[in-house]
Structure 1
Amino acid sequence: MQVKFKIRRFDPDTDRPASHFEDYELEMAEASTVLDGLIQIREDVDGTLALRCSCRSAICGSCAMRINGKGRLACNTKVIDAMPKDGGPIVVEPAGNMKVIKDLVTDFAPFWDKVRAVQPWLQNSGPEPEAEYVAPNEDMLHLAGVMSCIMCGACVSDCTVLEVDSSFLGPAALAKAYRFVGDPRDDADNDRLSALNEASGIWDCTRCMQCVEACPKGVDPMGRIMSLRDKAMQAGFTNTNGARHATFFTKSVGHKGWIDEFQLPIRSKGVTNVKEMLKLIPVGIRAAKAGKVPNPIH
């Protein structure tokens, strides 16, 4: 069958350094993947096309990119599934929220810096064990999913927070942090949660679900971030905007059956935080004009 590709190209070393699209059309089998098509283009049509790939089996994570606007692995995305129903081309772009080096190759250095920032190794305070540290099965079952992460970066590519704030640790690094916070062999939970509780950490996630949809391995990064929030609050780390927001949100709905939108930002920022209270005055005025200020007698 005929398959059309529309690939975003970028090469800073040419006389056309600006990002642009180029179209290709191939004869392919129905069982072929997007990666098969890209390799065919590189080998038979245009040898200048740059991309990363290795295992072709959704194991290494090298071929994560945007396909029709969504972060996916090219090796497990069949062309027949990716082809638009209107007969248009399959649009292939480099992974989002990363600097493009060339064509579909992106710079993963910031990605790995953030993974290293969560200290992804076991930290045991006791003496070195003389034999293998055997953890009970029931204590490790909840980590089976998160340990399936192949560090492909598809979740980072689609993260809406990273689009506006590059300092956010991101779903991949935070899911990796959960893997160690939840490990019974690790003794650094409080230190880890304290660090994750800071700005650009667990409370900056907007719960947009994009990372969950993008993940090819069912890791559920957003769910892991929510679990880290729960663990942080249970450990006593509640003096943050995010923790106060979650606490009052739950209290308001539980007590009144609805969200007190007037008090929610006030309680989230902290009633005694004069500087932040002054910043909220314009918000309060707009809320009043929009009818968002509840009747105090209600």
Structure 2
Amino acid sequence: MTASSLTTPPVTIPSVERLQHAAAQLDDVILGKGHQIRLSLACILARGHLLIEDQPGVGKTTLAHALSRTLGLGFRRVQFTSDLLPGDLLGVSIWDANTREFHFQPGPIFSEVLLADEINRATPRTQGALLEAMEEGQVSEGGVTRPLPSPFFVIATQNPAAFVGTSPLPEAQLDRFLMTITLGYPDVRAERTLLETGGRGQRVRDLPAVLSGPMLLAAQSEADRVHAAPALLDYLQLLARATREHPALVTGLSPRALLALLAAARAWAFLAGRQMVLPEDVQAVFGSLAAHRLPLRDPGADIRSVMAALLRDTPIP
């Protein structure tokens, strides 16, 4: 199944045009990172959470803030440190002596976009406090379950594990992130532009909103309906089986991860203005979706090379 053998009528709804406008606006702020920007937008469309892994100073926080501004969503940032407590994130119930009852003071997690900055500097207990929120879209405190805003999206940044004072995220928490991306250093042209024009902080603060919360929810529903043909589902299953049988991997993609891959591929196709998922869409999102879900038997091996081999060697029905 190839692009040339399929008729894929274009999606013409306004939300696609707005999302493409959003991508162009972000391209003007996060220079030279068009693929990562589109992966981030696809992650949001697929109702997933995003983990950005890289060293300090390459634009992780700038990307998170620019995404929230462009999508017209409320934004809160929490600096994860070793002394951050779950209550600092979720909120606490405070006793009111006058009314003789507890009143809940919501924490910063009650926002549409939460930036968990340097998440692996916090203790495992605080990292775990995010699990229910990311999976269920709600917070339980004091025996009461409180829904989070909709849409709700977590962007977490993570420093390399070799950095001092970091605690690796457990596998259960990593699996809650739909995608992992790495920004890396800018290319020569982008870096020169930064030197000539200065940082992009003020430009991020001045970004106009291209969408809104209700518009994003509508776009997510449209992306859910992008068609996946039976042959495309065959391809997904072949990829999953290849990960489960690969000698370099401890475990392969789970059924939940396979569903996530389909959702991400639908979102990528939607961003391209199509109503049908192609194998190219799966291949475009596969690396960012699978890298953090495929543990290597040899920690010194290169997971990117393994995934490239998987895509190369798995036949397209």
Relative to the length of structure 1, the TM-score reads 0.28
* Greater share of helix: 2
